[in-house]
Structure 1
Amino acid sequence: MSDANPQRLKKQAHGVRDMEPRRPCNPCPRGRMIEKPHKLSGRSRRGDYAMELLHIGVSGPFDEGLDSSRYWLTIVDDFTGWIEIIPIPRQQEFVIESLRFFLDYNERPERKCRRIRLDRIPE
């Protein structure tokens, strides 16, 4: 109702008088405020090309799959949004699978992976 036209509201309310001048309550303008985006520091800037910045995380444990994997290694390319999910049997094997991923996809010297962000959430 706060967005409705005041003239229209006056026509709908018969016999009700407005005693005080209308001022919005304090939470109304605060709820409509829009924050400015945070400035990015040099360390947190996005990737400029594919494979420059990768986000790596391990999820699980899940129910055991057909290949006896219980965890997922998730790799997200920051520039393209491309997601690679690799099933792994143990959480400790994310290092081996990450290296295998880099050997397979990090072939072009001008487009090498420069930065990696790890998911530091304890599983």
Structure 2
Amino acid sequence: MSEKPPIKTWLAARTAEMLALPHMACRRRDCRRRNTCYWHFKSNKEPCCLRNLTAEQRKLFDVVYEEARFAEGFFGSDSHLFDARDGGRRMLADMAIEIARTSPHRWRPEIWDAARRRRAKTLPPAEGG
């Protein structure tokens, strides 16, 4: 079994913010008040709020984080990996793209942004939003 790569602190913090963890789960006052992840553990680089999650909540965080990490590197590479049209898969892809789009380390920003705009035009709006 392969070992998980080390967590990217910046991307993990943005994922936690997308899931409202600084406000809902973090015990650090700075994070709650600003709705932003400011604190992380030096040992593993994870945001502090992740320690307060249940196993099920942590699993959800990990799924969204991994999808955002994948989007950061591969969105815009002319693949159909992010072309889900409806349901949970579409919502997960939308979240991952929104998290990864602000990353300073994303793959080829100009191609990435063009792919995001193209995707927004071709896919129907998500239900309920």
**Structure with the higher helix share, 1 or 2:** 2
Relative to the length of structure 2, the TM-score reads 0.24
Relative to the length of structure 1, the TM-score reads 0.25
